[in-house]
Copies of this chain bind each other. A is one copy, B any other.
Amino acid sequence: MKLYDLEASGNCYKVRLFASLANIELDIEPVDFLGGAHKQPPLADLNPLGQLPILEDGSHVVRDSQAILVYLAGVYGGLAWWPAHPRGQAEIVQWLSFAANEVQHSLCAARLVQKFGYPLDQSVALASSPAVLALLDKHLERHDWLAIGRPSIADCAVYPYVALAPEGGVDLGPYSHIARWMTRLEALPGYLPKP
């Protein structure tokens, strides 16, 4: 099973992190991102959005880091990480949307500008980051994990860009519950350190 990967990408790290926690073996294929390989065939045929990561499992292709987490957890991870009951699935999907929308357009965007020079509005990204982190911190004040009362793919989807936020100029100092959640996650068997 092949993961088209960029080491520095938080979205790719979501998948590598989960695979490591769930003991799923991936054949990591580094992509020439600076050379734009992800924007050209054959990769652009696998993912027309021109984004990484992409998972190739035999002839089956999955794009989008959140969808890859669902696929890997559902097919290979067992019920621990993605339960069969729709109530738990919906609880997790709330956080997958949070990762794809709120986190992507705040913490991730700030890092893309600061670390990689992306032409995004750094001030907008930085202005929206505290509300995202405050919401997360408040949730984690009363919960050890984001969903279903245990580690799940929700944590794997949200942790990477939170852990990498300081690279975008975002200060994690004020968020003690987030800090304790990160420590819990980093203590799980199979934890893969952030890039």
A-side residues, CB < 8 A to B, are 48-49, 60, 62-64, 66-68, 70-71, 73-75, 82, 84-87, 89-91, 93-94, 96-98, 100-102, 104-105, 121, 124, 135, 138-139
Q: In the assembly, what is the distance between CA of A105 and CA of B74, in Å? A: 29
Check A71–B90 contact: CB distance below 8 A.
yes
11 contacts between A and B (CB under 8 A): A60-B87, A64-B94, A66-B96, A67-B90, A67-B93, A68-B90, A74-B85, A74-B87, A75-B86, A75-B87, A84-B84
Majority DSSP secondary structure for residues of A touching B: helix
Q: In the assembly, what is the distance between CA of A68 and CA of B85, in Å? A: 14
Q: In the assembly, what is the distance between CA of A75 and CA of B90, in Å? A: 10
